[in-house]
Amino acid sequence: MLPDLLILGLVIGANNFAAALALGSLGQAHRQWRILPVFALFEFGVPFIGLWLGKQVAGFLADGLGWLGPTLIALLGVWTLLEARRETNDSERLAHTLTSWRGIIGLSAVMSLDNLVVGFGLGLGGLPVLLTATVIMFCSVAFAWAGLRLGARGRRAYQKWAKALSGLSLIAVAAADWLGWL
């Protein structure tokens, strides 16, 4: 089970990598002691809530709705792929605003919405809530740290690729779940 959870954590952490890569490339890596703890709080708390809700709902659902969790995860993967295609015009001012306390809390909350859906979908499958949320948080923060470091070295061009990889990975996780591999 732990290897499956680590793969899941790596998939979910790719979104944090993309965001941190952009922030690092815009000169915000020095704010890592503000960014990483806030990311950690949201990357643990939001999937935890989703997993818990999924477990609660799973108790009420019949076995015939086992497709719901993987479907939600796959739809999130498709949405992430579509978002990766969108053009964005980041600027120094935007990066500075996003890494203010209010900005980083807002950014973390928005970025964690997909983790609520993923957590809910996985909770329907009965994964252990505390362990899963902890693995997601650990992987997400590690990816965010790496993104800040790499971004600071001027590798901003990889942001869209990281987001696209995240979307494809979510679709792969959903497919593995549908096939009974997770």
pLDDT digits (tens, 9 = 90+) for 60-102: 654 555 666 677 667 766 776 776 676 555 556 666 777 788 8
Higher confidence at residue 161 or residue 151?
A: 151
Residue 115 CB neighbour total at 10 angstroms? 28
Most confident range, picked from 55-64, 112-121, 148-157: 112-121
For the chain, the C-alpha Rg in angstroms (whole number) is 16
Dihedrals φ, ψ of 145, to 5°? Answer: -60, -45
Half-sphere exposure of 48 (CA within 13 A, CB side): 12
The secondary structure of 67-114 as a DSSP string is THHHHHHHHHHHHHHHHHHS-----HHHHHHHTSHHHHHHHHHHHHHH
Mean per-residue pLDDT over the chain, rounded:
77
67: which residues sit within 8 A by CB, 6+ positions away? 178
